[in-house]
């Protein structure tokens, strides 16, 4: 009980909240944390956007993201309290990387073997409805991707209230990025291939950060790869449309 009090007590300290909300210096730290959250969440947004494409309607896609936001808020609250222990949870990164690679390989295998994929889907009966399986997948990825951003945030400020506010606003901004990517996927179908290719790259990126390897792909390099990949997909789409219009 004392452990829970130590971990989560600061969240329920009204004086702590009052101090943070009325401090200009703390708000500068919060703005920095929001920016960090957005930068670290680009890969998360790509995965979320790709996952929502499994759902047949725009309404279900947006609904899954809405459910995902609330789930992410709850998990973020729990994980910030456990922040000091997260450094020991590198195994979660390995599981997350393996799952992301599975998603990418499964997607490209399905594209290469459409008939086999179709027949296997007929035989297998899903445990959960498609909508809830997508929501659970979104939540699982939130937990995996939260580790880096929480550790980075706690390194800047040890006050969990500051980290929580920065993280919650950052999650909202990240969901906005995911919705933009969803719209781009509708306009440029070729981006689906790019998205799952990037998911494989994200899996490698995540795996390389485990303590035994400890290699970090710089955010600038990863961002450049994402932008160039999107640009390439748009160019391919334009060429195809121009050929079809002739």
Cβ pair 50, 195 in contact under 8 A: yes
Label residue 188 left, alpha or beta by phi (over 0 means left) and psi (-120 to 50 means alpha). Answer: beta
Distance (Å, rounded) from C-alpha 53 to C-alpha 61? 7
This model's pTM is above 0.75: no
Residue 223's domain spans which residues?
Answer: 2-245
What digits encode the pLDDT tens for the residues 57-106? 888 888 888 888 888 888 878 877 776 555 556 787 788 788 889 888 98
Distance (Å, rounded) from C-alpha 62 to C-alpha 44? 16
Q: How far is CA 157 from CA 15, 109, 153, 206, 218, in A?
A: 17, 44, 6, 24, 22
Distance (Å, rounded) from C-alpha 139 to C-alpha 80? 16
What digits encode the pLDDT tens for the residues 30-44? 887 777 676 666 777
Structural domain count, the chain: 1
Distance (Å, rounded) from C-alpha 234 to C-alpha 240? 10
| Residue with more model confidence, 7 or 180 | 180
For every residue of 48-96, which 3-state class applies, written as one string? HHHHHCCCCCHHHHHHHHHHHHHHHHHHHHHHHHCHHHHCCCHHHHHHH
């Amino acid at each position: 009980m004392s452990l829970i009090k130590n971990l989560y007590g600061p969240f329920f300290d009204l004086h702590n909240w009052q101090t943070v909300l009325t401090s200009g210096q703390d708000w500068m730290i919060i703005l920095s944390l929001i920016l960090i959250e957005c930068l670290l969440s680009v890969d998360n947004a790509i995965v979320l956007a790709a996952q929502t494409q499994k759902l047949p309607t725009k309404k279900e896609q947006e609904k899954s993201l809405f459910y995902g936001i609330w789930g992410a808020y709850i998990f973020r609250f729990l994980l910030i309290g456990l922040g000091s222990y997260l450094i020991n949870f590198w195994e979660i990164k390995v599981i997350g990387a393996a799952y992301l690679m599975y998603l990418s390989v499964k997607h490209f295998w399905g594209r290469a073997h459409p008939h086999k994929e179709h027949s296997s889907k007929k035989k297998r009966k899903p445990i959960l409805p498609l909508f809830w399986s997508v929501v659970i997948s979104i939540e699982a990825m939130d937990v995996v991707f939260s580790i880096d951003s929480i550790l980075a945030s706690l390194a800047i400020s040890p006050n969990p209230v500051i980290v929580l506010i920065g993280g919650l606003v950052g999650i909202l901004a990240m969901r906005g990025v995911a919705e933009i990517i969803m719209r781009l996927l509708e306009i440029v179908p070729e981006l689906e291939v790019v998205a799952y290719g990037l998911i494989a790259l994200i899996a490698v990126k995540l795996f390389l950060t485990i303590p035994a390897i400890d290699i970090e792909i710089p955010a600038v390099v990863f961002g450049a790869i994402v932008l160039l990949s999107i640009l390439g997909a748009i160019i391919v789409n334009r060429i195809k449309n121009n050929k079809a219009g002739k």
